[in-house]
């Protein structure tokens, strides 16, 4: 029955993992662009570093952006402004002026008065326009006049501005040689009040005409025939060659829009994505089995893989320079929570795929790997805020050095335009500072514990530790010694020393419920276990594990610290009372479950080392002679006994690790219990 359950559980595990990988792979492929990138990179003035390039097909020469801009500017300059002819109020203005002039009419100048009115009518018929402020009259040669929905060309010199119309009318009146008083009287009438524009500029129609003309611009000029040499190896990329290469690139990308091409590219992208993901999966399976088999860790790591690609895709879909995107964001979070190696493999896999979005793939990949490695090792144990900002400075410096080196290789010089890249990298590095608050959210959402949080939990002023110090001072001193031993051992065999230390501080907090029942808190006198049966005493001792977990829930300790409480005795027995029972009742059947801790046995390396340190520290206190020989024998016997009992069967430990732990424990205990010299007493004269 249990075998069937195990098989079913394994099947579910594998289905979950395979489904996760397939879904993640599919989502990543959707995020990748479906246009095949142009495989050549080139710069004006630099030599062509590839083999001679021959045109594989006929293609047109595309105009450069500068040429298209010049064509558009020419259209704007040559486009005649459009004016609408307005007939309203013309006759009214002419009649008003006629009435005013009639006051100066005599028998001798009647014809001249009529000529003035006819001149004004002539001016209106040609057109009076009000020039828009942004229009330069010197550049306008012709205009289009729309009258009764019919447009006709007119030379700009044939129409009047308000000023020209006024001056023309005044000059005409002066040319009539009227009597001085009559001329002065007419000119004093305010002739400008009777001259109003009847040609109104239509910005909408003019803009529409320009837009129509722009759309008709031919984007190409000339052809390159199949078989023509585009550029030979080592030739300099001149402006003319650059134009041909750009035309070939455009034609290449435009020819990849068919459904077949998209399917072909999608299949290829799926293969590449699977290779990247499977490489990461193989690493986890071989080197980090605990992460691979833990569904939460597995899902989290692959989510980080997907989110990193999604972050990189922003540059493609939102047209943002890829140097601005903080692609190292999620690999650094993985590095802080899981260590350097998983983060490094995640970095390599994601950088391979994110480089797909970069114009210069190799440079971008080199930048990310270099800066990522710097980030991994500078943040391998993040315990202070200053560490993050120092790491960000190193990341930025690495980015700048790699970018500068590649730019010098490819372009031969650094120019002010490259300052934009520096600004992008500053933004990139600045966004990485959001890792600190993001880490808090990740811990809360997924239940992880970073070293920053462990530092907070290891503070002796934490309520749980304060309570332990107050109620069970002997246990607290024991925990401190266990913490010192475990921390030093982990330093030597690899792992998280801070996790080992913090876990050791909390492993015995359950003893605060009934501290007097534990020998380290007894000050002499009667032993409270004396009146109890052996199995009752064993149950009291065993209970400190479950009571410790109750306190852990009360103080909301993370699961990683609860593991130390659960596993610091594993499934071992309370040997003192177990052996006492067997010695006193050799023929009596014993219920071994009453003397056995609930477990489980430790899996984490740090938990296993705390188990060793717990036993060694407690046993060393009982030694009468604490010399090097006795301490060495004690450490070896105790740890070998745990090993033989199978306590480390599931732990991430090697025999070499165990030998190192023995040596470290022995050296530390010898230093703790070193001989003290006796101070001489001051002799007084009799």
Give residue-wise pLDDT tens across range 262-307: 788 888 889 999 999 999 999 988 888 888 888 899 999 999 999 9
The pLDDT, as a whole number, for residue 126 is 87
Q: What is the pLDDT of residues 55-74, one digit of tens each?
A: 887 888 888 778 888 888 88
Q: Which helix (H) or strand (E) holds 365?
A: helix 361-378
3-state helix, strand, coil in the chain (%, to 5): 65, 5, 30
Q: What is the pLDDT of residues 167-218, one digit of tens each?
A: 888 898 888 888 888 888 888 888 888 888 888 888 888 888 888 888 888 8
Between 132 and 35, name the one with better pLDDT.
132
Q: Average pLDDT for residues 97-109, to the nearest whole number?
A: 77
* Average pLDDT, rounded, for the chain: 87
Q: Which helix (H) or strand (E) holds 128?
A: strand 128-129
The pLDDT, as a whole number, for residue 1 is 46
Q: Average pLDDT for residues 654-661, to the nearest whole number?
A: 95
- What residues contact residue 515 under an 8 Å CB cut-off, 6+ apart? 471, 472, 474, 475, 521
Q: 116 near 178, Cβ under 8 Å?
A: no
Q: Is the pLDDT of residue 104 over 50?
A: yes
**Own/partner pairs, 618-626, CB within 8 angstroms, 24+ separation:** 618/478, 618/520, 620/669, 620/673, 621/520, 626/669, 626/673
Confidence band, pLDDT 50/70/90 cuts, at residue 504: very high
Q: Is the pLDDT of residue 123 over 90?
A: no
Give me the half-sphere count of Cα atoms (radius 13 Å) on the Cβ side of residue 261.
12
Longest dimension (CA), the chain: 162
What's the residue count for the chain?
Answer: 686
d(CA 409, CA 400): 14
d(CA 353, CA 276): 8
Q: Is the pLDDT of residue 121 over 80?
A: yes
Q: Is the pLDDT of residue 92 over 90?
A: no
- What residues contact residue 41 under an 8 Å CB cut-off, 6+ apart? 359, 360, 410
> Which residue blocks in 127-258 are alpha helix, DSSP H?
162-175, 180-187, 203-215, 239-254
Q: 273 near 28, Cβ under 8 Å?
A: yes
Question: What's the angle, vertex CA 209, arms to CA 207 and CA 215, rounded to 5?
Answer: 100
The pLDDT, as a whole number, for residue 258 is 62
The pLDDT, as a whole number, for residue 3 is 61
The pLDDT, as a whole number, for residue 293 is 86
d(CA 442, CA 437): 9
- Within 10 Å of residue 622's Cβ, how many Cβ atoms? 9
For residue 100, CA distances in Å to 117, 118, 120, 301 come to 11, 15, 14, 93
- Domains (ranges, CATH) in the chain? 2-36+259-412 (no CATH), 71-215 (no CATH), 462-672 (1.10.3210)
């Amino acid at each position: 029955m249990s075998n069937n359950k195990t098989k079913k559980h394994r099947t579910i595990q594998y289905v979950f993992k395979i489904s996760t990988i397939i879904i993640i792979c599919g989502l990543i492929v959707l995020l990748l662009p479906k246009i095949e990138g142009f495989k050549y990179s080139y710069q004006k003035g630099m030599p062509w570093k590839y083999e001679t390039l021959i045109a594989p097909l006929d293609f047109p020469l595309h105009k450069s952006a500068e040429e298209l801009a010049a064509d558009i500017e020419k259209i704007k300059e040559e486009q005649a402004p459009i004016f609408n002819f307005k007939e309203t109020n013309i006759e009214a203005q002419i009649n008003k002026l006629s009435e005013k002039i009639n006051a100066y009419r005599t028998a001798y100048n009647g014809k001249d008065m009529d000529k003035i009115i006819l001149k004004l009518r002539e001016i209106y018929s040609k057109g009076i326009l009000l020039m828009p402020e942004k229009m330069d009259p010197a550049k306008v040669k012709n205009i289009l006049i729309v009258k009764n929905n019919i447009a006709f060309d007119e030379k700009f010199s044939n129409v009047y501005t308000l000023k020209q119309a006024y001056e023309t009318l005044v000059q005409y009146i002066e040319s009539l040689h009227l009597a001085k008083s009559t001329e002065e009287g007419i000119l004093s009438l305010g002739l400008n009040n009777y001259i109003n524009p009847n040609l109104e500029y239509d910005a909408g129609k003019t803009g529409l005409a320009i837009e129509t003309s722009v759309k008709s611009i031919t984007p190409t000029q000339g052809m390159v025939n199949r078989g023509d040499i585009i550029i030979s190896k080592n030739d300099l990329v001149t402006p003319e060659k650059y134009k041909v290469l750009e035309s070939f690139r455009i034609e290449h990308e435009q020819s990849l829009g068919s459904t077949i091409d998209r399917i072909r590219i999608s299949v290829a992208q799926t293969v590449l994505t699977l290779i990247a993901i499977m490489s990461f999966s193989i690493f986890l399976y071989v080197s980090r089995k605990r992460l691979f088999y833990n569904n939460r860790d597995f899902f989290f790591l692959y989510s980080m893989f997907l989110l990193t690609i999604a972050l990189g895709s922003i540059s493609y879909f939102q047209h943002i320079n890829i140097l601005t995107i903080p692609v190292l964001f999620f690999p650094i979070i993985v590095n802080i929570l899981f260590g350097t190696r998983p983060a490094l493999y995640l970095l390599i896999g994601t950088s391979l795929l994110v480089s797909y979005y970069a114009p210069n793939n190799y440079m971008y990949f080199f930048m990310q790997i270099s800066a990522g490695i710097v980030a991994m090792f500078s943040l391998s144990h993040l315990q202070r805020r200053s560490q993050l900002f120092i790491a960000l400075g190193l990341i930025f410096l690495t980015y700048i050095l790699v970018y500068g080196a590649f730019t010098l290789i490819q372009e031969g010089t650094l120019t002010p335009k490259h300052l934009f890249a520096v600004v992008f990298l500053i933004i990139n590095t600045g966004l990485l500072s959001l890792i600190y608050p993001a880490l808090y959210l990740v811990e809360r959402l997924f239940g992880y514990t970073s070293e920053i949080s462990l530092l907070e939990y290891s503070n002796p002023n934490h309520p749980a530790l304060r309570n332990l110090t107050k109620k069970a001072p002997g246990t607290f001193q024991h925990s401190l010694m266990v913490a010192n031993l475990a921390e030093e051992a982990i330093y030597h065999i690899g792992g998280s020393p801070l996790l080992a230390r913090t876990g050791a501080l909390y492993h015995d907090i359950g003893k605060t419920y009934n501290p007097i029942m534990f020998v380290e808190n007894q000050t002499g006198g009667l032993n409270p276990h004396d009146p109890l049966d052996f199995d009752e005493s064993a149950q009291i001792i065993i209970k400190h594990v479950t009571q410790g977990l109750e306190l852990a829930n009360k103080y909301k300790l993370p699961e990683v610290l609860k593991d130390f409480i659960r596993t610091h005795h594993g499934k071992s027995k309370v040997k003192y009372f177990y052996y006492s029972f067997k010695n006193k009742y050799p023929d009596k059947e014993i219920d071994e479950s009453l003397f056995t801790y609930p477990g489980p046995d430790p899996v984490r390396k740090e938990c296993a080392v705390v188990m060793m340190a717990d036993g060694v520290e407690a046993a060393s206190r009982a030694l009468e002679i604490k010399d090097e020989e006795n301490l060495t024998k004690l450490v070896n016997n105790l740890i070998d006994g745990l090993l033989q009992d199978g306590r480390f069967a599931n732990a991430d430990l090697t025999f070499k690790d165990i030998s190192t732990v023995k040596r470290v424990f022995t050296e530390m205990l010898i230093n703790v219990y070193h001989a003290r010299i006796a101070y001489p007493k001051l002799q007084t004269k009799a």
